[in-house]
Structure 1
Amino acid sequence: MKTPLALLLCLSLFAATIVAQGNQFKVRYAGGSIASTVKPDDWGNTITVNSETILLKLKDGQEIKINPKEVKLITHGRNASRRIGKYAALAIISPLFLLGMLKKNKQHFIGIATETPDGKKNGYNLQSKNDQYRALMTALEGVTGLKVEEEVEEKNKDKK
């Protein structure tokens, strides 16, 4: 009886640590209110979202603590591009590289705008990985109580 109980206890502790790490995401810091020496293409930054704080740890050692109650706006925008020049140059070597032009490169950017009780406004622009952006947006919506505002793509703006 003691062995199954001990095993169950160990598994529950392991599961608790896995769940506790569930709201940590790797992001690129694309800019914002805090000056940083981190390159915009560096994935060495993390954002941790929980009910008490949103913690953005930059690779250069800076930590930005955001109170979820101070978040006034969350935005999401996509940037989709094709690497035409790169694949056109490679097509000289082999025409099969022309197929690479069909692939879109999608980037997901999440903006967080805050306002402190004394009226100071801050903003942070983050790029999330393609397989994590929805989970990050859901976590931010959950702790702030706000809905993410979707940015309309340029080609769709012209049609309206």
Structure 2
Amino acid sequence: MSGLVDALLIVVAVVVVIARQFRASRIDTGQRWWLLPAVLAVVALREPGLVDTHQRTASVALLTAELFTGLAIGAGWAWTSRMWTEPDGTVWSRSTKASGAVWAVGIGLRVGLFALGAVLGVHQDSSALLLALAATLLVRSGILVRRAHFLRPVAAPAPAYGERMFRSTGKERV
């Protein structure tokens, strides 16, 4: 049952993360950008089946490849995201079509790694995928926060005589 719960958690996390990233979202440069990846990593590491005890070398090699794939996807996703600042100083981000391509390639690589493990006869648990997802989110969030520190707010143009003072940015939340 634990494998089913982990698989469900992975699917829900991926769907939520991808759906949120193709909408404009405010970048939180506070101290909690690492919290979701940390929770996912703890959930992944709580299971003892992360490494196959019968084929330890191949299992560790596949896990390492999975983690490097996750790190590369996170970096690619962060660098292909569009970022901008509003006049009030808030930083916003939205994924682009290139970000979607990064995700598609990453999913393809992960399917390939899973198939390679199946051919080699390595028992693969969902915790490896969850750990790689945590690495992806950690790297992406870290790069976005770092990029946000270098962005400067864009000054709002001064209103012309007779023009209303309030300008909607289109990103206000109700």
For Structure 1 versus Structure 2, the TM-score category normalised by the shorter chain is: under 0.3
Structure with greater strand share of residues: 1
With the length of structure 1 as denominator, give the TM-score of the two structures: 0.25
Higher relative contact order (CA 8 A, sep 6+): 2
